[in-house]
Amino acid sequence: MNKGNIIDGKKLSQETRIRLKEQAEKFEAECGRKIGLAVVLVGENPASKIYVSNKIKACEEVGLKSFAYYLPETASKQDILNLVEALNDDNSVDGILVQLPLPNKADEKEILARVSPKKDVDGFHAVNAGNLLLGNDSLSACTPSGIIELIKSTGCEIAGKHAVVLGRSNIVGKPAAMLLLQNDATVTICHSKTKNPAQITSQADILVVAIGRKEFVKSDMVKEGAIVIDVGMNRDNDKLYGDVAFEEVAKKASYITPVPGGVGPMTITMLMSNTIKAAMSGKR
Ligand code: GUN
């Protein structure tokens, strides 16, 4: 078996963005305006600032109009809700993204619930999460959608494979499991209370790791020939590390995503894709 193939998320992302740009241009020609994405950043979280700036750059690349709103750390829940409501009513805005985490984490649920499900390009609203669960067409969360595209890019079939998702967050683990299920994988979710996760991960044909712990997955946790998708973004001394010990796991995996350059670029590309999808649905 061919081992250690690196799934190039940057390349897949660039190829996908070319197609998205064509769709965005077609929309503009037909509707007389650019597709618009509003990005809301509250406070000064350094990682969030980088993500937001990358999202705005991606809009330029694909030909979307970005509306950036920077609110101070001191912004109240009501200030944020007022902005979200104004964006819900703004016809030039097709997608709304509130960058997480918010300085006041306790406000997140209510604020995300207020984003119109039609403009919820993060796929975090209960309506979109519920539609994903039901297998209905929906705006689904960007990182999990990117994960599916990365797996498909290997040419390997997902149907019938045992996919193990390490992590059960609402942003990655749960929606990734649902999308894998929608693609006919047999899905197991492992989390912090799972007994002996290594025994389960080592049976995975497809292993998705999203637990936020630097190089947690070592080669003895991985099956020979598995496809390994590393969602981790762990910063240590200004260097970025995945949740997977890349060097040793690459020797065993058939395909593996690097960090950086794997899942990250595809997440933002799927955000562009969702924004175009939201705009097209709004047109009908
Ligand atoms: N913070 C970390 N990941 C994400 C994401 O996908 N969307 C938003 N809005 N915030 C995030």
pLDDT in tens, 251-280: 999 999 999 999 999 999 999 999 999 999
pLDDT in tens, 164-178: 999 999 999 999 999
Q: Is 254 in the pocket of ligand 1 (CB under 6 A)?
A: no
Give distance in angstroms: CA of 100 to centre of ligand 1.
Answer: 5
Give distance in angstroms: CA of 99 to centre of ligand 1.
Answer: 5
Q: Is cis: bond before 260, omega within 30 of 0?
A: yes
Taking the whole predicted model, whether its pTM rises above 0.85 is answered as yes
Nearest CA to ligand 1 atom 9: 99
The pLDDT-based confidence of 284 (bands split at 50, 70, 90) is very low
| Active site (annotated) includes residue 55 | yes
For residue 171, CA distances in Å to 195, 211, 265 come to 23, 11, 16
Nearest CA to ligand 1 atom 3: 100
Q: Is 99 in the pocket of ligand 1 (CB under 6 A)?
A: yes
Q: State yes or no: pLDDT of 45 exceeds 60.
A: yes
| Whether 175 contacts 123, CB under 8 Å | yes
* Active-site entry in 99, 205, 252, 277: 99
Give distance in angstroms: CA of 52 to centre of ligand 1.
Answer: 9
